[in-house]
Chains A and B, each alone.
Chain A
């Protein structure tokens, strides 16, 4: 509280009845500055409320339009064609999303964590580490569509096919900087004393990192990984250039177009057929639930590691 009030002493002063001219310290709404203060507070509260509304508006519409049409068999059916008015689902898209995010995680998570070890431990304070950190920050802000074009140039043009592999590479490009930056923070938060103790016991620096630093930092590292996965799972633009879309099941034995939830939503959102639009809403609900699940899992891990450290 910032209200400034006059402190009255414990005993009543002897000259209590004598009128003393005191500065007015109570908040008085007739004074311009206090009125201004209250008005700005109200405005700020109003703007914050407006900022919080979209989340609920999005979730509400997702539930209203997505949940009402939800049937369990959608999770293992192929997408409906324009002529179907009932049935169908997005099983292949869920599988495609999981598969591509899996490829991306395999590529990005170990890379990101090792790079973070360099930034936080071996290269700490060096110019090289500062430059790499800067590059990682710039990469987090890079438009995701450019990651897609990069993977298109690297993988699609080289192999001659759109594929889940290319999609995975594009998503990995987006995940790496997130994993690097969050893992670096997590590794830095490990108390120096623990590392010193391990060194004192005669551990080599590799042993310190693998047996002490990383295990201690792991919950927070995983928080970053969860955030990166959540981001990758929702990405659409990079997949348009790499995996495109498919109405059929994912095949592991060859490179070909692969479905994903995000691209399915994009394609069906512009469909002239009501049934496909309904399907887009239900797929969006499933995608958002998936993404929120990973986000909340990350938050829980973060909260737990905060808790254990105190």
Chain B
């Protein structure tokens, strides 16, 4: 006896089984592909850098000469420039980013304004870094010129201001870099702040805390891990940022502490030198690239791990 329902309910055909298995395996293979991609990046860059690493060894990291004609290369000034510009950018961009994150998450503003400010800061991330570079050359550098002249003239005895270039310099680069890390800082720390349970805030208000007593005493300490993770990720972004620094920092391969002097970073060195480099210099640049890869990989893994932990903790804290 056959009923309509019996004809509808049928086991999957062989083709459907194959489709099912195919999608499952395909999705898994491509997901593993992401892992392979990360590994391949490390391996490939390592492979092209290997000859130069073998040839030059550790001296490359500790020497500060960059002379193509004498075949002498060292990236100490670039490592210094990378860390220096990134830390300055983090100091400025981190402060601003955290301020915005607090301002748009703690009911200071009506909902619509909060959203508007959030979108404005998010859009900063959309502007390509080469456009920031262009803007830096024609706006930031001329705009801070009188200010740097004043600093150099009156505070020139301080090592921070003892050498000045009216053109490309560290201060202008760090300011632009700060703008570029601002969206990362804001978005990630805002997410961290959003995971603070409302009950905690309400309890603080119930005890008579003012808004800022609540923020500084309850919200930020609770979100501290996440905010720290945001700082680390923003630092990672700053370390690897290339174009803006290649255009604004002046490409000078010398060690310098002065904020007003030109310098160079690892990424900017590679970007500026590579297109016109000869083969043996390209090998050396690959060594610089593997150094940059190592630094950014460590910082990024650290930042991501901190955020994974803090979000897991926040998820566990919720009832």
A residues in contact (CB < 8 Å) with B: 2, 4, 33-34, 36-37, 40-41, 43-45, 47-48, 50-52, 54-55, 57-58, 61-62, 65, 111, 114-115, 117-119, 121-123, 128-129, 131-132, 134-139, 141-147, 149-150, 152-154, 157, 173, 176-177, 180, 202, 204-207, 209-210, 230, 233-237, 240-241, 244, 262, 265-266, 269-270, 280-281, 284, 287-288, 291-292, 295, 299
List 10 A-B pairs, minimum CB-CB distance, nearest first.
Answer: A143-B240, A234-B128, A47-B99, A118-B31, A118-B27, A237-B242, A115-B31, A141-B300, A206-B20, A37-B210
Docked pose: A137 CA to B229 CA in angstroms: 13
**A48 and B103 within 8 A (CB):** yes
**A295 and B30 within 8 A (CB):** no
Q: Closest residue of chain A to B32, judged by CB?
A: A132
Q: Contacts A61-B135, A137-B304, A209-B23 hold; do A51 and B243 have CB atoms under 8 A apart?
A: no
Contact residues in B for A121 (Cβ distance below 8 Å) = 27
Contact residues in A for B104 (Cβ distance below 8 Å) = 48
**B123 and A134 within 8 A (CB):** no
Chain A nearest Cβ from B256, distance in angstroms: 22
Q: Which residue of the partner chain, among A135, A205, A207, contacts B34 with CB atoms under 8 Å?
A: A135
Contact residues in A for B127 (Cβ distance below 8 Å) = 55, 58, 234, 288, 291
Q: Which residue of the partner chain, among B35, B44, B108, B308, contacts A154 with CB atoms under 8 Å?
A: B44
The main secondary structure of chain A at its interface with chain B is: helix
18 contacts between A and B (CB under 8 A): A48-B99, A48-B104, A51-B186, A52-B100, A58-B135, A61-B139, A114-B26, A123-B31, A134-B308, A141-B233, A147-B41, A180-B31, A202-B10, A204-B17, A210-B23, A269-B247, A284-B131, A295-B126
**B31 and A145 within 8 A (CB):** no
**B130 and A47 within 8 A (CB):** no
Whether, in the assembled complex, B45 has its beta carbon less than 8 Å from a beta carbon of chain A, the answer is: yes
Contact residues in B for A37 (Cβ distance below 8 Å) = 210-213
Q: Closest residue of chain B to A147, judged by CB?
A: B41
Contact residues in B for A122 (Cβ distance below 8 Å) = 24, 27-28
**B300 and A142 within 8 A (CB):** yes
Q: Closest residue of chain A to B186, judged by CB?
A: A51
Q: Which residue of the partner chain, among A51, A154, A262, contacts B100 with CB atoms under 8 Å?
A: A51
Interface residues of B in 87-143 (CB under 8 A from A): 95-97, 99-100, 102-104, 108, 117, 119-121, 123-124, 126-135, 137-139
**A204 and B212 within 8 A (CB):** no
Q: Closest residue of chain B to A1, judged by CB?
A: B107
Contact residues in A for B214 (Cβ distance below 8 Å) = 2
Chain A nearest Cβ from B175, distance in angstroms: 9
Residue from B34, B104, B241, B289 whose CB has the most chain A CB atoms within 10 Å? B34
Docked pose: A95 CA to B186 CA in angstroms: 34
Q: Contacts A33-B210, A146-B293, A234-B130 hold; do A153 and B44 have CB atoms under 8 A apart?
A: yes
**A36 and B130 within 8 A (CB):** no
Contact residues in B for A240 (Cβ distance below 8 Å) = 271, 274-275
Q: Contacts A52-B117, A122-B28, A138-B304 hold; do A149 and B131 have CB atoms under 8 A apart?
A: no
Q: Contacts A123-B28, A135-B34 hold; do A149 and B139 have CB atoms under 8 A apart?
A: no
New A-B contacts (7) at CB < 8 Å, excluding given A115-B31, A233-B128, A269-B137: A41-B211, A48-B100, A118-B31, A143-B292, A269-B133, A281-B134, A299-B119
**B128 and A117 within 8 A (CB):** no
Chain A nearest Cβ from B153, distance in angstroms: 26
Chain B nearest Cβ from A158, distance in angstroms: 11
Chain A nearest Cβ from B149, distance in angstroms: 22
The main secondary structure of chain B at its interface with chain A is: helix
**A44 and B243 within 8 A (CB):** no
Docked pose: A44 CA to B121 CA in angstroms: 15
Docked pose: A206 CA to B19 CA in angstroms: 7
Docked pose: A226 CA to B242 CA in angstroms: 23
**B247 and A291 within 8 A (CB):** no
Whether, in the assembled complex, B284 has its beta carbon less than 8 Å from a beta carbon of chain A, the answer is: no
Contact residues in A for B296 (Cβ distance below 8 Å) = 141-143, 146
Chain A nearest Cβ from B234, distance in angstroms: 10
Whether, in the assembled complex, B203 has its beta carbon less than 8 Å from a beta carbon of chain A, the answer is: no
Q: Which residue of the partner chain, among A36, A144, A205, contacts B240 with CB atoms under 8 Å?
A: A144
Contact residues in B for A41 (Cβ distance below 8 Å) = 108, 211-212
**A55 and B45 within 8 A (CB):** no
Q: Closest residue of chain B to A230, judged by CB?
A: B126
Docked pose: A304 CA to B210 CA in angstroms: 38
Docked pose: A69 CA to B13 CA in angstroms: 64
Q: Contacts A47-B96, A144-B240, A145-B242 hold; do A111 and B30 have CB atoms under 8 A apart?
A: yes
Chain B nearest Cβ from A38, distance in angstroms: 9
Whether, in the assembled complex, B259 has its beta carbon less than 8 Å from a beta carbon of chain A, the answer is: no
Q: Which residue of the partner chain, among B132, B182, B213, contacts A58 with CB atoms under 8 Å?
A: B132
Contact residues in A for B275 (Cβ distance below 8 Å) = 240, 244
Whether, in the assembled complex, B158 has its beta carbon less than 8 Å from a beta carbon of chain A, the answer is: no
Chain B nearest Cβ from A225, distance in angstroms: 15
Contact residues in B for A142 (Cβ distance below 8 Å) = 41, 240, 293, 296-297, 300
Contact residues in A for B58 (Cβ distance below 8 Å) = none
Docked pose: A287 CA to B24 CA in angstroms: 39
**A55 and B120 within 8 A (CB):** yes
**A266 and B23 within 8 A (CB):** no
Q: Contacts A118-B28, A118-B31 hold; do A143 and B99 have CB atoms under 8 A apart?
A: no
Contact residues in A for B38 (Cβ distance below 8 Å) = 135, 138-139
Docked pose: A264 CA to B9 CA in angstroms: 62
